Amino acid sequence: MQFVRKPVQEMVNQLSDTDHVIFSPTLQTSTIKCKNGSATRIHLEQSTKIHVPAECSIKLSKHEITSSDSAKISPPPLRDSWSWDPFTLPSSLLTSPAHLDQAIYKLKTNNFGMSKQINTKTNFNINYTSMFIWLSLALAATANLIIFIF
């Protein structure tokens, strides 16, 4: 006794928009009909790969396959130039040691640049008049202390 394995019912698997594989328990003949009026007869065996062109359909014993009649036009890709600084991300995302090294280096160079800016922007203007007044007050207070003690 030999076991033969074959489908019990008709099955259709779609491979692409227009290609299909049909598994059928019986041999059958069907017709691919298109909207432009053309028709093609096709013989289906136990397993058959068929191509159903766009705007066409085929009726099987348990299924009907219809190819899409919509035109697919893909727009050209949009290209936009922009710069992205990964160091603007939260620190919790910087888990890689390489990212940490780059972040530390950038902080170091930015701090050095900032300290140069701070040092160049700070301008100490010495006012000799106020310095003379404070020095005179300090000397007078010291003289009064010395006279009061002796």
The sign of the dihedral angle between the CA atoms of 21, 26, 27, 32 is: negative
Query: What is the pTM (predicted TM-score) of this model?
Result: 0.43
pLDDT of amino acid 147: 87
* Contact call for residues 50 and 22 (beta carbons, < 8 A): yes
Per-residue pLDDT tens over the stretch 44-97: 888 889 999 888 999 998 889 988 776 666 777 777 666 666 666 666 655 666
